[in-house]
């Protein structure tokens, strides 16, 4: 059985990973479907791609922090009770 610290670390990592991936794809979707971007010629399209990626990374960073926090809370709530009473090395 995992110790409490290991359980918390895994929960935080999973939450941050899911939050980051979801935030990136959400950011790409929201920005790519924006009417403000121009996809008509090559230079406008390249500029639009850069804007989409930069905004997606910013949204993803925020979602990583939110996902980490959610993982922390879920790790605390769902941690196995035996990890509290388990002695190290056993």
Please indicate, yes or no, if residue 86 is contained in any of the structural domains: no
Does the pLDDT value for residue 29 go beyond 60?
yes
Confidence band, pLDDT 50/70/90 cuts, at residue 64: very high
Count how many domains the chain has.
1
Residue 72: inside a domain? yes
- Read off the pLDDT band of 85 (50, 70, 90): low
Parent domain of 49: 35-79
User: Is 1 a domain residue?
Assistant: no
Q: Could you give the CA distance from residue 59 to residue 68 in angstroms, rounded to a whole number?
A: 14
Q: Tell me if 8 is assigned to some domain.
A: no
DSSP string, 29-63: HHHHT-TTS--SSHHHHHHHHHHHHHHHHHHHHHH
| 30 within domain boundaries | no
Q: What is the pLDDT of residue 32?
A: 82
83 pLDDT above the threshold of 80: no
Q: pTM of whole model > 0.75?
A: no
Per-residue model confidence (pLDDT) at position 2: 59
Residue 67 domain-assigned (yes or no) = yes
Residue 52, domain member (yes or no) = yes
């Amino acid at each position: 059985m995992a110790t409490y610290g290991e359980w918390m670390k895994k929960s935080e990592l999973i939450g941050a990973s899911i939050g980051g991936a979801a935030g990136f794809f959400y950011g790409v979707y929201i920005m790519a479907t924006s009417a403000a971007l121009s996809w008509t010629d090559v230079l406008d399209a390249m500029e639009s791609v850069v804007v989409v990626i930069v905004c997606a990374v910013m949204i993803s960073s925020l979602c990583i922090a939110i996902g980490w926090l959610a993982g922390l809370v879920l790790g605390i709530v769902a941690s196995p009770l035996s990890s509290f009473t388990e002695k190290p090395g056993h």
